[in-house]
Amino acid sequence: MLSCRELVRHSSEYVEGELTGWSKWSLKLHLFICRRCSRYVRHLRTTIDALAMLGRGQTEPSREFMARMQQRYRDWAVAHDQPGS
């Protein structure tokens, strides 16, 4: 079973559809039973969608900006992560 921390580490790959096979399913399973992580992934997806929308017809958000946003969410998640919960 994936820990919340591991989920956060792979969440952006998941949201961007880069995960396949078992990694993807174990992540989905975790999201199914863990409300906190499912909320986190929903926020992450919303952010990425919003950035994609902003990027349409304009200049793409820089990779640096994306990385900073993702890092901010990771920090948020880590701060809310209680090991063993």
Minimum distance from residue 49 beta carbon to Zn ion (Å):
22
| Single-letter amino acid code for the residue at 19 | L
Minimum distance from residue 5 beta carbon to Zn ion (Å):
8
Stretch that binds Zn ion, among 14-22, 36-44, 51-59, 72-80 (CB under 5 A): 36-44
Which of 4, 8, 15, 44 is the binder for Zn ion (CB under 5 A)?
A: 4
Which of 15, 19, 37, 41 is the binder for Zn ion (CB under 5 A)?
A: 37
Q: Binding to Zn ion by residue 41, rule CB under 5 A?
A: no
Q: Binding to Zn ion by residue 27, rule CB under 5 A?
A: no
Q: Residue 2 and residue 54: Cα distance in Å, rounded?
A: 33
Q: Residue 83 and residue 81: Cα distance in Å, rounded?
A: 6
What is the SS3 assignment for 63?
A: helix
Tokens of 10: 């792979």
Tokens of 6: 């591991």
